Amino acid sequence: MALFLSVWPLSHAAAQQLRCNPCDHGYGRVQIGDSKQYIFRLTNTGNRTLHILSKRKNNKAFLFGNFPLPVTLRPGKSTQLTIKFKPLAAGKTTGTITLISNALNPKLTLRVWGTGGAVQSATLGVSPSSLDFGKVVVGSHASLRLTLSASKGSVTISSARVNSSEFTLPGLGLPLTIAAGQNIQVAVRFSPNASGRASGKLSLSSNADNSPNTVPLTGVGVAAKAHSTALSWDPSKAVIGYNVYRGRTKGGPYKKINPVLEASTNYTDRTVTAGATYYYVVTAVDAEERESSYSNEVRVVIPSP
């Protein structure tokens, strides 16, 4: 049996050759809605001009950049092919890019792959998760702070509601936007209306994925202690009684606080306010209703609460 061997002319073997280096690429993880691109370098390694005539892809997640056809490549020349990965769903996806030309290798295939990441919505962090104000005297108030933080994107708080009038957020202006990775502090105030345990719930509404955020609020109202001032003085001769005067500043002015003439040398002032400072003086009144000058002044500081 005769054996025939065909040999291509050297000029034909060195003709148009379309090459890529590399011919595959992985895009890694790309969030859905975003895209990432990669540029492939295509080279004519032959000694004749070639023409890239068509292009196609088998996966909609991979997109051609600007690559108008036909493309003409002279020997030794290169061109760039941009392929974008824009995932349509979460998880890994693969694809092929095929270029058709008049080269000796008329079909050049590029392999691509990437992983789609689920959309990460912004979240609002609240710390601490609850507030306990402890015991607060009725008629006064106490304040605690919440730290609000934004992650995975900026957060805009549109409303802040508390279901109890005893808890308020003084100075909070809405809407309030917190930039991604940043935090702010918000004051919460407890002003008990009556004795006993109080509770409420703060609700923050925003564009965050975990909206609304709720914060339990608790506190105990306690009655203010009843304070009084007990005064006593040395008796005067030939008098029928005494008047007691009180002022808020040293040296007066003073105002008489006893409704009727005080016959004894003792008096209890039960109209004082916690935390206040008072200045007292006494005068003596004789049978002809003549009143003496002020006695020496006594300063009294009322405890708080």
- List, for residues 48-92, the tens digit of each pLDDT value: 999 999 999 999 999 999 999 999 999 999 999 999 999 999 899
Q: pLDDT over 90 for what percent of the chain? A: 83
Same domain, 103 and 128: no
Structure tokens at 58: 């088998």
Q: In whole angstroms, what is the distance from residue 78 CA to residue 208 CA? A: 48
- Residue 33: band (very low, low, confident or very high) from pLDDT cuts 50, 70, 90: confident
Residue 7 pLDDT > 50: no
Kindly state whether residue 5 falls inside one of the protein's structural domains: no
Q: Do the Cβ atoms of 86 and 109 come closer than 8 Å?
A: no
Nearest-10 Cα torsion for 281, 286, 290, 294 = -20
- pLDDT value, residue 14: 60
Helix (H, G, I), strand (E, B) or coil at 254: coil
Same domain, 217 and 135: yes
- pLDDT value, residue 5: 39
Of 188, 222, 256, the position where a domain reaches its end is 222
Residue 202 pLDDT > 80: yes
How far from the centroid of its chain's Cα atoms is residue 156's Cα?
Answer: 8
Same domain, 112 and 128: no
Count other C-beta atoms under 10 Å from residue 25's C-beta: 17
Of 102, 117, 132, the position where a domain reaches its end is 117
User: What would the mean pLDDT of 225-249 be, rounded to a whole number?
Assistant: 93
Same domain, 142 and 216: yes
This prediction has a pTM of 0.49
122-162 pLDDT tens trace:
999 999 999 999 999 888 899 999 999 999 889 999 999 99
Q: Do the Cβ atoms of 244 and 262 come closer than 8 Å?
A: yes
Of 60, 95, 117, the position where a domain reaches its end is 117
Residue 10 pLDDT > 80: no
Query: Token match 């090459």: residue?
Result: 19
Kindly state whether residue 98 falls inside one of the protein's structural domains: yes
Kindly state whether residue 55 falls inside one of the protein's structural domains: yes
How many structural domains does the chain have?
3
CATH number of the CATH domain containing 214? 2.60.40.10
Same domain, 215 and 253: no
Lowest mean pLDDT among 7-11, 50-54, 151-155, 235-239: 7-11
Q: pLDDT over 70 for what percent of the chain? A: 95
Lowest mean pLDDT among 30-34, 172-176, 204-208: 30-34
Residue 225 pLDDT > 50: yes
Same domain, 106 and 31: yes
Q: Do the Cβ atoms of 243 and 262 come closer than 8 Å?
A: yes
- Of 239, 234, 220, 209, residue with least CA distance to 296: 234
Structural domain span for residue 55: 13-117
Strands 241-247 and 155-162, how do they pair?
Answer: unpaired
